[in-house]
């Protein structure tokens, strides 16, 4: 038998340990990335909520302006029409 084609138990264990270490490193990186993405999502949702409130306030102001000036709601055509 050719010894180079067979792994010794120590070599197999070493390869397994290296693979486990690589997987643990990838898992740690992914955990960190998920946390960063979660924080970005939280910030975006906060921004969206603020923008919704701003739009609601602007719509409310425009409606109040229209109610305060009912004569301005009708479109007046120029005299030549």
Per the domain annotation, does 81 fall within a domain? no
Per the domain annotation, does 25 fall within a domain? yes
State the pLDDT at residue 79.
81
Per the domain annotation, does 74 fall within a domain? no
State the pLDDT at residue 39.
98
Per the domain annotation, does 75 fall within a domain? no
Number of domains observed in the structure of the chain: 1
State the pLDDT at residue 73.
54
Per the domain annotation, does 76 fall within a domain? no
Nearest CA among 7, 45, 23 for reference residue 37 = 45
Per the domain annotation, does 3 fall within a domain? no
pTM of the model: 0.60
- Give the C-alpha separation, 74 to 1, whole Å: 99
Residues with Cβ < 8 Å from 9, sequence gap 6 or more? none
Per the domain annotation, does 31 fall within a domain? yes
State the pLDDT at residue 1.
45
State the pLDDT at residue 71.
61
Per the domain annotation, does 78 fall within a domain? no
User: What is the number of alpha carbons within 13 Å of residue 34 lying toward its C-beta?
Assistant: 6
What is the pLDDT tens value at each position of the chain, 81 positions in all? Answer: 454 557 798 899 999 999 999 999 999 999 999 999 999 999 999 999 999 999 999 999 999 998 877 665 556 777 886
Domain assignment of residue 21, given as a range: 8-68
User: Which H or E element spans position 38?
Assistant: helix 9-68
């Amino acid at each position: 038998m050719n010894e180079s084609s067979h792994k010794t138990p120590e070599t197999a264990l070493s390869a397994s340990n290296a693979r486990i270490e690589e997987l643990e490193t990838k898992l740690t990186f992914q955990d960190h990335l998920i946390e960063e993405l979660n924080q970005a999502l939280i910030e975006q949702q906060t921004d969206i909520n603020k923008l919704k409130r701003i739009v609601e306030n602007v719509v409310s102001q425009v409606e109040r302006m229209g109610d305060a000036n009912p004569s301005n709601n009708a479109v007046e055509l120029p005299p030549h029409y």
